[in-house]
Chains A and B, each alone.
Chain A
């Protein structure tokens, strides 16, 4: 479903990602794991059409993310890090606006908004201003937004960052539910997060793919995955003088 081939992105002279290649098959949940600053967000932004790669190609559902950007954007739901929202809008108002710019209007928009409100357990805050919501609720509003059009591919950047344990469990439950119908790529810097929700794993470090494959496969290769991950990311750490 998602096919990334030798993706490279330079910010000026600084390479954020170099020769990143991976595949996410249809219907799979793949965790994108790496320490902060490894290039997870950059890769996801390129997939979502917010940035353009310096070189390399990425296709989603067979469509190039650069040449068919608009078509690709219709087929993915992308939730950026920290889930930015307009604080001065009410929840339903915001969702109706998002439905509108995704090309859904009128009665159909109302129906879909109702559906995602139910699906993301937002019905009791529907009239509340987004700015007054707690972090967990805001995250759910972001999820509700990307589920409006029911896109086949969901790309979530750190969906559990900054949530309390109860909210993390709820979000995991929602992701598990979503994985039945959607292809998911979600990023995190916590390994246990991947182990809890994902089938596949891609470990990225300093802009390069360090390891990728099936979670079970990797686990059998490395007895202690946690240790492997820590060792991987700490290797070649620049010595502090």
Chain B
């Protein structure tokens, strides 16, 4: 593959490599900084649960998504000639949902800096031996984790929405060590899951920093191992079944004139290899992955925006309202449609920053449009950068 590259392509490749190295280096640096400030992340998360914010957000969000789920379930099971191809689109393409979605990030970020500024604790925080960016990123990570926690319960809707069916392997296949279920990949999957579980349980008691690190390493290592094993286990059909078919075809070609028992024996398509669990989806499951990717990154953008506003003002309510007004820019198309030519210049312009449209046209239907991802990530990074600068501004104002 590398032999056919032209010099220009080599330059591009080298540039990409350098860029990736730089990004990885920066990420490691940031992660080390966050590790230093882990107490702050923990406090910020705990503060959500000692105030009513987290509970209110959870209840409202789950009530709205729950009612949307019930509606969608009706659509999915309706009799007659109605069909739903993209259940997530059907479920989340709704004005009420976007209203709630709009309100959640400002609610999560409003107190982060505004409250500290009002009560004077910001002075205590900023005279601790932490850098400004460590404080900003810790607060950001805390509200981002809470945002992901808010979305976590919605995963239980997926089996119904995607029409998933699970068929575990038979007990005699699981228990006999020589059965086709047990390959290196499925073993890796099971061992990885067990390791991750052990690590997660070990995280609960107080084991000191080193113990925590070891158990965290167990969780991460287990997840990576289970992921790799699971992926290889999952793609077994593609790797092994076509090969079995191919030998059949080769057998057929080898004996063009001599049809007979040989042909029958070789073209018999090998049974697909056994799996630990067979998961079948009635609808394309990739759309769930892209949807949650979109939700994660769009949330990252709105949270960064809210954090920036919170670092600029003193009052929580004002912070929430301004953040709401600013994020409305990205959602307003949903509520207020201008009648323009479809596909006209204005339409295309609006499409660049209208988040509900991004979900409707790409994330909810299983497409990843990198333009949207670039928008979300760059706005988030820019807002975080401005937040650090705005905190710093107290020094020279």
Contact yes or no, A101 B127, CB < 8 A? no
The interface residues of chain A lying within 8 Å CB-to-CB of B43 are 86, 89, 97
Chain B min CB distance to A215 (Å):
28
Min CB distance B25 to A, Å, is 21
A49 touches B47 (CB 8 A): no
B residues less than 8 Å from A11 (CB atoms): 397
Shortest distance between the CB of A95 and any CB in chain B (Å): 11
CA distance A52 to B125 in the complex (A): 16
- The residue on A at minimum CB distance from B124 is A84
User: Does B36 belong to the interface (CB within 8 Å)?
Assistant: yes
Asked if A80 meets B209 with Cβ closer than 8 Å, knowing A97-B43, A102-B128, the reply is: no
**Any B CB within 8 A of the CB of A196:** no
Given A73-B128, A88-B47, check contact A52 B395 (CB 8 Å): yes
A51-B394, A97-B43, A101-B37 as given contacts; A73 in contact with B121, CB under 8 Å? no
Could you tell me which residues of chain B, from 60 to 105, have a CB within 8 Å of some CB in chain A? none
Asked if B26 is at the interface (CB within 8 A of a chain A CB), the reply is no
Tell me which residues across on chain B come within 8 A of A87, comparing CB atoms. 119
Question: Is there an interface contact between A84 and B123, defined as CB atoms closer than 8 Å?
Answer: yes
**A residues less than 8 Å from B175 (CB atoms):** none
Q: Provide the residues of chain B in CB contact with A82, threshold 8 Å.
A: 120
Nearest-neighbour CB distance to chain A for B49, whole angstroms, equals 10
Q: Does A62 contact B (CB under 8 A)?
A: no
Interface size band for B: 20 to 34
| Residue in B125, B129, B130 with the greatest tally of chain A CB atoms within 10 Å | B129
A136-155 vs B: 1/0 string, CB under 8 Å? 00000000010000000000
A165 close to chain B: CB less than 8 A: no
Interface size on A, residues (CB 8 A): 32
Chain A positions 63-102 with a Cβ under 8 Å from a chain B Cβ: 70, 73-74, 78, 80-82, 84-89, 96-102
Q: Which of B121, B127, B129, B394 touches A103 (beta carbons < 8 Å)?
A: B129
In the complex, which residue of chain A has the Cβ closest to the Cβ of B138?
A101
Q: Give the docked Cα–Cα distance between A106 and B213 (Å).
A: 12
A86, B123: Cβ atoms under 8 Å? no
- Whether, in the assembled complex, B50 has its beta carbon less than 8 Å from a beta carbon of chain A, the answer is yes
Whether B47 pairs with A73 at a CB distance below 8 angstroms is no
Asked whether any CB of chain A lies closer than 8 Å to the CB of B396, the reply is yes
Q: For A105, what are the chain B residues with a Cβ–Cβ distance below 8 Å?
A: 39, 208-209
CB distance from B392 to the nearest CB of A (A): 9
Contact B129 A80 (CB under 8 A): no
**Contact flag A50-B130 (CB < 8 Å), given A86-B121, A105-B209, A106-B209:** no
CB distance from A200 to the nearest CB of B (A): 23
Taking a contact as CB atoms under 8 Å apart, the answer to whether A98 and B128 are in contact is: yes
Would you mind naming 11 contact pairs between A and B with Cβ atoms under 8 Å apart?
A: A11-B397, A49-B127, A73-B128, A78-B127, A82-B120, A88-B50, A96-B39, A97-B39, A101-B39, A102-B128, A105-B39
Not counting A45-B123, A100-B38, a sample of 20 additional A-B residue pairs whose C-beta atoms are within 8 angstroms of each other reads A11-B397, A50-B126, A51-B395, A52-B396, A70-B131, A73-B127, A78-B127, A80-B124, A80-B127, A84-B123, A88-B51, A97-B40, A100-B40, A101-B37, A101-B125, A102-B129, A103-B36, A103-B129, A105-B39, A145-B124
B residues neighboring A (CB under 8 Å): 36-40, 42-43, 46-47, 50-51, 119-121, 123-131, 208-209, 394-397
